[in-house]
Amino acid sequence: MTTGAPSVPPGFKVFLLLAVGYDLGPIATTPNPRFIMAGLSKDIPRPTEIKLHQNTRVLEISFDDGKTFELSCELLRVYSPSAEVRGHGPGQEVLQVGKRDVTINQIEPVGTYAVQFLFSDGHDTGIYSWDLLYDYGLRRDEMWSHYLKRLEEAGASRDPALAPAQPTRAR
């Protein structure tokens, strides 16, 4: 278990939320018109605030269209956009098991279009664009149900003590 605030880069504000978590404050998200990133839709709302609630292991993200989403650290970890989790093509996804207690230890900005998380299990290779996080917010319940169904089908567990040593390839 980590103590203290997660590491936060310059430009992010951190406020201690008593018994709740950390507020990463307003984020500068004005895109540079000369720098267009693949996969980042200009129509997707931009985040106005990101809060990491360490006690409940939830990332709360508010967007400039007024929507606010709560995404568990576990959901963000098991649906990491990394090749380690998604694979390099259809059918290569790796079912993540034993991630019930995972937390986010560090949040790093990636330009003005994304963040990268360092999870307590050492995973740090996924880049979470604003459009991806918005999509995860909209589909959170559907994604969670799908994840639980995949775990059940694989006979796997969310609990670290019950998880197999090797990751399970998705079906």
Inside any domain, residue 9: no
Residue 34 pLDDT class (50, 70, 90 cuts): very low
Average pLDDT over residues 113-137: 96
Q: What was the pLDDT predicted at 81?
A: 95
Inside any domain, residue 7: no
pLDDT digits (tens, 9 = 90+) for 57-87: 999 999 999 999 999 999 999 999 999 999 8
Average pLDDT over residues 115-131: 96
Q: What is the pTM of this model?
A: 0.74
Inside any domain, residue 6: no
- The structure tokens listed for 24 are 């990463």
Distance CA 46, CA 65 (A): 8
Distance CA 44, CA 64 (A): 9
Domain CATH for 53: 3.30.2020.30
Residue 40 pLDDT class (50, 70, 90 cuts): low
Q: What was the pLDDT predicted at 23?
A: 40
> 3-class SS at 57?
coil
Inside any domain, residue 59: yes
Helix ranges (DSSP H) in 60-129: 73-78, 83-86
Inside any domain, residue 1: no
Inside any domain, residue 65: yes
Number of domains in the chain: 1
Cα-based angle 124, 130, 134 (whole degrees, multiple of 5): 110
Structural domain of 75: 15-169
Distance CA 69, CA 113 (A): 18
Residue 88 pLDDT class (50, 70, 90 cuts): confident
Inside any domain, residue 110: yes
Inside any domain, residue 63: yes
* Eight-class DSSP state of 102: -
